[in-house]
Amino acid sequence: MSYDDPLEAFTDFFTGPYREQIQELDDGYPDERSLRIDWHTLESWDGSVADEFLRKPSRMRQFATNALTRLDEISVVGVNVRVYNLPDRKTVRVGKYRTRQLGKLLSVRGKVVDMDGVQPYAEEAAFECPLCGTLSRMPQSYGDLMKPNECAGCEHSKPGFRFNREQSELVDLQKIVIIPPDSNLEEPPATIAFLKNDLVDMVGPGDLVTLNGIYETFDGQSESTLSTYIEVLDLDITERTEIDTYGASEIREFIMDALTEEIQATDDWAADRASVVDAVVERHGVRREEVDDQIEYLIGENDVGAEGSRLFDI
């Protein structure tokens, strides 16, 4: 059968063939906040819904999210709908995308060569009018913060809006760069990809990954040749590079060095734990969780004192 209403389609899918996965999501919620949809399962249930997901991923994902939130069987909010196991025809080599694929779902396999730290990202930013106090909300895209043109309350244009963090919708965001896994080129084609929510901090330099995501152009472009990125909807780590160049004791030394520097730089008796972790991750390419593990070890051994998120007394 085929559906006119995607909301109805996803409701039937979730209460039919995907009943067990939905139950698992409910059991694991709120620690677990992602529902991974196997595209092939969707396809064997209803081919046209599955094809529509490839063609209009943002829209279909929104319908799937809405259907999930409205299910009588479970009670979840803020779940990330992810899709994986895309058909082979959607698998593209890094850098081989075409204009007609913009806005569509792709599967790209690549090697992680660069990554930023995790940062808060405003999916929707709230602004307060300094003249009348009215809040205006603006959906955001990567790049410059976009402000409303006019206040909805007093109708002044550009009243000098103030960003209001508490009223904005913030998520964790991490930018990574991938290249083809087998390239011998000196400057291989590279693709920027954005990881959000529970996908952050999953990969490290050298890891081989399969990204399923939407091929997009950045907003606010300054040139007619557009810069692009992949908005990642799902991530498979096909091969992890073990960072065996550094042993646990070396990582502990990096931590102690960063801690000492941090304390000297801030001229304080304690350092912010997150800054120490950031410094070690950025300088040595060690995975964040490994640094955290070693900090816990140092605390356990009383090499450093801990209270809350701060480190003291080396």
Q: Which of 102, 132, 226, 248 binds Zn ion (CB under 5 A)?
A: 132
Give the nearer residue to Zn ion in terms of CB position, either 16 or 160. Answer: 160
Other CB atoms within 10 Å distance of the CB of residue 3: 16
Give the nearer residue to Zn ion in terms of CB position, either 117 or 153. Answer: 153
User: Least distance in Å: CB of 196 to Zn ion?
Assistant: 32
| Cα–Cα distance measured from residue 48 to residue 31, given in angstroms and rounded to the nearest whole number | 33
Residues 6+ apart with CB under 8 A from 278: 117
| Cα–Cα distance measured from residue 89 to residue 51, given in angstroms and rounded to the nearest whole number | 12
User: Least distance in Å: CB of 164 to Zn ion?
Assistant: 13
User: Least distance in Å: CB of 144 to Zn ion?
Assistant: 22
Give the nearer residue to Zn ion in terms of CB position, either 57 or 159. Answer: 159
| Cα–Cα distance measured from residue 152 to residue 154, given in angstroms and rounded to the nearest whole number | 6
3-state SS, residue 233: strand
**Residue 214 engages Zn ion in binding (rule: CB under 5 A):** no
Q: Which of 16, 69, 124, 131 binds Zn ion (CB under 5 A)?
A: 131
Give the nearer residue to Zn ion in terms of CB position, either 135 or 171. Answer: 135
> Applying CB under 5 A, what is the total number of residues that bind Zn ion?
7
Query: Could you tell me the CA-to-CA distances from 49 to 18, 42, 81, 219 in Å, in that order?
Result: 14, 7, 15, 29
> Mask: binding to Zn ion, 145-164, rule CB under 5 A, as x and -?
------x-xx----------
Name the phi and psi angles at 56, rounded to 5.
-130, 65
Let me know: does 10 contact 64? Beta carbons within 8 Å: yes
> Mask: binding to Zn ion, 111-130, rule CB under 5 A, as x and -?
------------------x-
| Cα–Cα distance measured from residue 136 to residue 264, given in angstroms and rounded to the nearest whole number | 42
User: Least distance in Å: CB of 151 to Zn ion?
Assistant: 3
Give the nearer residue to Zn ion in terms of CB position, either 155 or 250. Answer: 155
Residues of this chain that interact with Zn ion (CB under 5 A) are 129, 131-132, 134, 151, 153-154
